């Protein structure tokens, strides 16, 4: 196995011998006849007309006399680079401002004609729909729905196994095997998602993961320019993107810049030893994000955090290498243009080289100013989290990342609000205190809030399978500031703890032919499940119509007697939200909220439609969040 090579037990082996051993093992792994080209194609009319093209042939490609020749004025060769590994050639080129779409002629020339290759490189016309029906960006007006494609619905059983790939598992009874879900299955259920109130889909990574095991999650890419064929490949991804955009819905891709799968061709057949971070012996990241902002941190701690490997099967990319950086950035631009992406979620943001991330974010936003980018920041504390996004700090590192996944409002906000007894800093006070720290963000409304995701225990289990508390969580999610993200199946009471994570990545019931129950339909749901689905849908659909929630301001009041009250408001509308997670009914005095209630006489419950006169006092039922539109 590859681990026997790279992670040798002998302490006497030095880094160089480890590297050479793995390189020798990898020779011939990807034997093919044709020259592969990355990016596979490009476009005319891009703002940045510079491009790095990588040519790759495992049997050998370059000699000392190899020259790259362009026979078209549309592509000008600026410089060629010959890595230590002669299987590669990298070229800096410039696309002419006057370039026309079409296939262009490039020649890898050698004195020996048998070692010369003709490449037809296609320049495509950019889509006229960019910024109109696609690449529109994600905003606080959206509701994101997170799906792991292998676990949602199997729309095309013919792609469940792909001959030649290392992982041939297909067993729905095993949480770490492949289950057969795919992009066609997602497309088949867009009516369900749109009816629920979803406006944007975030899919866990869709790139090829040709690894021997654990390929269901997608976070170990082995070829950046191949969409995973077991979820339908590029054709199915195009089809899903087109179907979404025709409905006015949006698509978010999951980016993994920090690492690749150990079977990636760039690791198995290294261009040179500087493409990845190598250590004398295997070194894992410490996962200690604090060292990146700690004014007293030791250099070795910073290096281990950023350059250590995430796990042994995922080599850490060296983003200081300009060729690596260009490869990753161009791939992000390529995917955005090719598939009409509206946003990017960036995996393991804190483990990347942060200067590289600023450069990558800038390159994407320069090309697509409307694009939304948010990074995963599973860290501890609002200062730590805000360090990685646009903030108000005057510190040496200035992040240009527009937004983050707001773990603070989850782990230190809504979870303790519903699970802790009320106290000075406990219960709903913890949610209030965490939200009060929003002053550190340049724009809190861009942050992505959530109850659960593919790494966290499902929220129903987190709150002790108390459906009333789950309803409070959903009401908070769909009325609070930011961009809400709903994890697939939460709306039909899917549950489990992340011990291990596969337990929170189970199949959506009804997504496979022969499933005993189909939760996509009211007939297939229990009365309690259907009630929760309808509750979620009512809030999500109200949110789509509510200017106050989608783009308005937030005002929160200091919790009293276990009750937390906040308002969403603008010039057109006022929405009052009252959270009571306590086990008994409470009463509030409305005079305290005069700043927001003055002039209003009636409150309409957005779930039931029942109208209530605003009196001096209001009764709040136990374990309930009331959402009122104020008239």
Q: Please list the active-site residues.
A: 347, 376
DSSP state of 277: -
How far is Cα 90 from Cα 271, in angstroms, rounded to an integer? 10
With beta carbons less than 8 A apart as the criterion, state whether 243 and 285 touch: no
Whether the bond between 39 and the residue before it is cis, its omega within 30 degrees of 0, is yes
Degrees to nearest 5, angle at CA 12 with 11 and 14: 95
Degrees to nearest 5, angle at CA 273 with 267 and 279: 90
How far is Cα 372 from Cα 370, in angstroms, rounded to an integer? 7
DSSP state of 268: H
First-to-last alpha carbon distance for the chain, in angstroms, is 68
How far is Cα 507 from Cα 503, in angstroms, rounded to an integer? 10
Tokens 């106290």, located at residue: 423
**Which residues contact residue 289 at a Cβ distance below 8 angstroms, ignoring those fewer than 6 apart?**
305, 350, 377, 379, 380, 384
DSSP state of 545: H
DSSP state of 222: S
How far is Cα 512 from Cα 150, in angstroms, rounded to an integer? 11
CB atoms within 10 A of CB 616: 7
How far is Cα 600 from Cα 626, in angstroms, rounded to an integer? 17
- Among residues 393, 386, 398, 308, which one has the least CA distance to residue 362? 398
- Among residues 593, 596, 621, which one has the least CA distance to residue 608? 621
Q: 250-255 and 42-43: which strand pairing?
A: unpaired
DSSP state of 506: P
DSSP state of 410: I
- Among residues 341, 431, 363, 343, which one has the least CA distance to residue 141? 343
- Among residues 150, 141, 249, which one has the least CA distance to residue 192? 249
- Among residues 408, 407, 402, which one has the least CA distance to residue 389? 402
- Among residues 386, 418, 432, 433, which one has the least CA distance to residue 405? 386
């Amino acid at each position: 196995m590859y681990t026997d090579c790279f992670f040798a037990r002998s302490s006497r082996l030095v880094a160089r011998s480890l590297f050479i051993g793995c390189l020798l093992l990898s020779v011939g792994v990807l034997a093919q006849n044709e020259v592969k080209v990355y990016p596979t194609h490009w476009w005319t009319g891009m703002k940045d007309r510079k491009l790095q093209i990588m040519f790759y042939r495992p049997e050998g490609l370059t000699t000392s006399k190899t020259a790259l020749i362009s026979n078209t004025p549309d592509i000008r060769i600026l410089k060629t680079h010959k890595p230590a590994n002669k299987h590669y050639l990298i070229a800096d080129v410039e696309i002419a401002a006057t370039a026309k779409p079409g296939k262009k002629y490039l020649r890898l020339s050698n004195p020996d004609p048998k070692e010369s290759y003709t490449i037809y490189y296609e320049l495509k016309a950019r889509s006229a729909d960019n910024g109109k029906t696609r690449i529109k960006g994600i905003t606080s007006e959206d509701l994101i729905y997170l799906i792991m494609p292998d676990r949602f619905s199997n729309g095309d059983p013919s792609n469940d196994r792909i001959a030649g790939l290392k992982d041939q598992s297909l067993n729905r009874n095993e949480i770490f095997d492949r289950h057969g879900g795919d992009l066609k299955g997602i497309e088949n259920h867009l009516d369900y998602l749109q009816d629920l109130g979803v406006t944007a889909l975030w899919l866990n990574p869709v790139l090829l993961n040709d690894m021997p095991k654990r390929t269901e999650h997608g976070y170990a890419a082995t070829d950046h320019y191949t969409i995973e064929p077991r979820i339908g490949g590029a054709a199915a991804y195009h089809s899903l993107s087109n179907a979404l955009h025709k409905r006015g819905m949006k698509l978010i891709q999951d980016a993994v810049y920090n690492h690749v799968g150990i079977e990636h061709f760039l690791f198995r057949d290294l261009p040179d030893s500087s493409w990845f971070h190598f250590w004398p012996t295997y070194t894992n990241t410490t996962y200690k994000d604090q060292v990146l902002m700690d004014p007293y941190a030791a250099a070795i701690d910073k290096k281990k955090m950023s350059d250590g490997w995430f796990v042994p099967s995922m080599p850490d990319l060296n983003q200081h290498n300009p060729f690596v950086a260009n490869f990753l950035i161009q791939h992000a631009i390529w995917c955005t243009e090719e598939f009409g992406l509206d946003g990017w979620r960036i995996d393991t943001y804190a483990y990347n080289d942060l200067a590289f991330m600023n450069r990558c974010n800038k390159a994407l936003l320069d090309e697509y100013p409307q694009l939304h980018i948010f990074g995963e920041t599973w860290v501890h504390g609002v200062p730590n989290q805000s360090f990685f996004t646009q903030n108000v700090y005057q510190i040496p590192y200035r992040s240009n990342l527009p937004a983050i996944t707001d773990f603070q409002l989850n782990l230190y906000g809504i979870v303790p609000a519903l699970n802790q007894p009320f106290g000075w800093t406990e219960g709903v006070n913890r949610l209030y205190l965490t939200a009060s720290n929003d002053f550190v963000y340049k724009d809190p409304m861009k942050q992505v809030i959530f109850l659960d995701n593919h790494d966290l225990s499902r929220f129903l289990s987190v709150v002790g399978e108390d459906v009333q508390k789950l309803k409070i969580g959903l009401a908070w999610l769909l009325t609070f500031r930011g961009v809400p993200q709903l994890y697939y199946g939460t709306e039909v009471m899917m549950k489990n703890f992340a011990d291990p994570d596969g337990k929170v990545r189970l199949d959506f019931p009804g997504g496979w032919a022969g499933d005993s129950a189909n939760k996509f339909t009211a007939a297939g749901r229990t009365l309690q499940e259907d009630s929760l689905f309808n509750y979620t849908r009512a809030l999500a659909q109200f949110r789509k119509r509510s200017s106050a929630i989608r783009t308005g301001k937030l005002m929160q009041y200091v919790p009293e007697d276990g009750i937390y009250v906040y308002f969403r408001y603008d010039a057109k509308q006022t929405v009052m939200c009252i959270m009571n997670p306590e086990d008994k009914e409470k009463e509030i005095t409305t005079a305290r909220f005069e700043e927001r209630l003055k002039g209003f006489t009636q409150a309409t419950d957005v779930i039931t439609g029942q109208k209530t006169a605003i009196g001096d006092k209001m009764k709040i039922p136990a374990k309930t969040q009331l959402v009122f539109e104020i008239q």
